[in-house]
Amino acid sequence: MTQDRSQAHVSRRKLLAGAAAAPALSLATPSIAQGTLKGTKLTILAGQWYVPQTNTMLDQLAADLARDSGMEIRVERFAGDELMTKTASVIGTGRGADLAVGVEFDTYVYAAKLNDVTDLADEVGKNYGGWMDAAKAASMVGGRWKSLPIGQAPAAWNWRTDMFRAAGVDKFPDTFAGLLDAAKKLHAKGTPIGMTLGHASGDGRSTNYPVLWAFGGKEFEADGRTVAINSPGTLAAVEWYKEIYQYFIPGTTAWLDPDNNQAFLASKVSATVNVNTIYLASRAAAATDAARKNIVDNMDHANWPSGPAGRFANYNINVWLPFASSPNKAGQREFLKAWYSRTFLPKWTKVGQSYFIPQLAGFDSEDVWPEDPKLKIFRDLNKINRLPGYGGPPTPVAAEAVNKYILVDMFAKACTGQLTPRDAVAWAEKEYQQIARRRSRT
């Protein structure tokens, strides 16, 4: 991973020479005259990504850029919720960092305090075959790019082929009725499935929106303001969930992000929705740990079933947030250019083993996909993402609803019997309306 520095230089130059149609705003090399950024500082807030090399590559990129430009670059890492708090703090005070990793909502919630990076986005799009729709939805506010998408972390159904087979299910079901049926059989065998229904900032979204949309439900109308959650589609989704919940492993309403991983790795659940971290963790330890090897050999990934309204998924999209309050706008841009350069992004993507996949259409034909056949499906998953807030764009109102876990709680309330499905939907409607009303001025 850490190349010899001179080699890095050389290979970059080679690429430049070979890139015949290199666009003017060069993403092939960060060609900064030594001195323009010398003495300036750049502070980057990042998360602790699962695959260690994705972190070290970021550090290396920062180091290389610092060396080339004379900037002093600091990458400070924070874990999930803490990163969000830290970012909020920077937004609120206008100090503390120049760039941060955020999620797509942040673009909308903080739009007024982010730099316009449309020109950079256009170049990246041109370079890599165009941005996919989800990317544009995640980063564009009012027609302008206010953040740059890093990639999304697709969550697939992780399932134990051996347990399914023992229960008489050979393939992962492709319909919701099929999934319900499989859940019943697995439960009877003592190997239930489980989906996260707790206040989990990661997994809490990936298990609910897909169901909602597959049955035709949606949160808002196209205007992004009219609450549309109370519909037959939503009710159908809730009712399906309530039925399958009986066959879940107990405890899912308390599941935070690590819990479904732990349950799966301990062979307590036969299927759950998660990014590729479970598989990667097992694969990493398979050589020394028999239990993990067993899991690696007997697990696979599958797509969401198709419902009456289609097949959907929802993933966290990570973006680079360029703070408007940063005194080093040039440094921000240089870093972003370096990140999206041809010498970095494809390699970084590949190293991530489809943990984060940039939504660039051109990547489909590039060598950024893992060789492992069990990870191949993430390539397809990359295409079906939809963002919360649907039928409208992701708005601060939708963001607030996500942060308050309204949708998760709606399903959870119905599943646990706290409210009837109808009442649960009505409850959610009321909550959404309250948020919309409060935000109607902004």
Site for another protein in 62-101 (CB under 8 A): 74, 76-82, 84-86, 88-89, 91-97
For another protein, what does the binding mask look like between residues 201 and 240, x meaning CB under 8 A? Answer: xxx-------------------------------------
Residue ranges in 98-127 that form contacts with another protein under rule CB under 8 A: 109-113
State the burial class of residue 411 (Cβ atoms within 10 Å of its Cβ: 0-12, 13-18, 19+): buried
- Locate 388 and state its tokens: 């919360």
Under the criterion CB under 8 A, does residue 186 sit at the interface with another protein?
no
Range in contact with another protein (rule: CB under 8 A) among 63-71, 157-165, 197-205, 235-243: 197-205
Encoded amino acid at 150, one letter: I
- The smaller minimum CB distance to another protein, of residues 43 and 208, is found at 43
- The smaller minimum CB distance to another protein, of residues 27 and 419, is found at 419
Of positions 190, 258, 310, 327, contacts another protein by CB under 8 A: 258
Under the criterion CB under 8 A, does residue 437 sit at the interface with another protein?
yes
Range in contact with another protein (rule: CB under 8 A) among 42-50, 61-69, 213-221, 335-343: 42-50
Under the criterion CB under 8 A, does residue 412 sit at the interface with another protein?
yes
- The smaller minimum CB distance to another protein, of residues 6 and 93, is found at 93
Q: DSSP readout, 236-305? A: HHHHHHHHHHTTBPTTGGG--HHHHHHHHHTT--SEEEE-THHHHHHHHHTTT-HHHHHHHHHEEEEPPP
- Locate 1 and state its tokens: 């991973």
CB atoms within 10 A of CB 299: 23
Of positions 8, 63, 281, 361, contacts another protein by CB under 8 A: 281
Residues 6+ away with beta carbon under 8 Å from 81: 201
Q: How many residues bind another protein (CB under 8 A)?
A: 86
Helix (H, G, I), strand (E, B) or coil at 60: helix
Range in contact with another protein (rule: CB under 8 A) among 27-35, 341-349, 367-375, 429-437: 429-437
Least spacing, CB of residue 435 vs another protein, in Å: 9
- The smaller minimum CB distance to another protein, of residues 94 and 308, is found at 94
Under the criterion CB under 8 A, does residue 257 sit at the interface with another protein?
yes
Q: Is the Cβ–Cβ distance between 391 and 140 less than 8 Å? A: no
Residue ranges in 291-320 that form contacts with another protein under rule CB under 8 A: 291-292
Least spacing, CB of residue 76 vs another protein, in Å: 5
- The smaller minimum CB distance to another protein, of residues 258 and 310, is found at 258
For Cα atoms 342, 344, 345, give the angle at the middle one, nearest 5 degrees: 80
Q: What is the residue whose two structure tokens read 């919360």? A: 388
- The smaller minimum CB distance to another protein, of residues 101 and 132, is found at 101
Question: Residue 41: what are its φ and ψ, rounded to 5°?
Answer: -120, 150
Least spacing, CB of residue 340 vs another protein, in Å: 23
For another protein, what does the binding mask look like between residues 372 and 411, x meaning CB under 8 A? Answer: ------------------------x--xx--xxx---x--
CB atoms within 10 A of CB 389: 24
Sign of the C-alpha dihedral, residues 379, 382, 383, 384?
positive
Closest CA to 138 of 428, 366, 360: 360
Least spacing, CB of residue 149 vs another protein, in Å: 18
Under the criterion CB under 8 A, does residue 50 sit at the interface with another protein?
yes
Under the criterion CB under 8 A, does residue 48 sit at the interface with another protein?
yes
Closest CA to 207 of 257, 140, 167, 164: 257
Residue 426 CA from chain centroid, whole number: 29
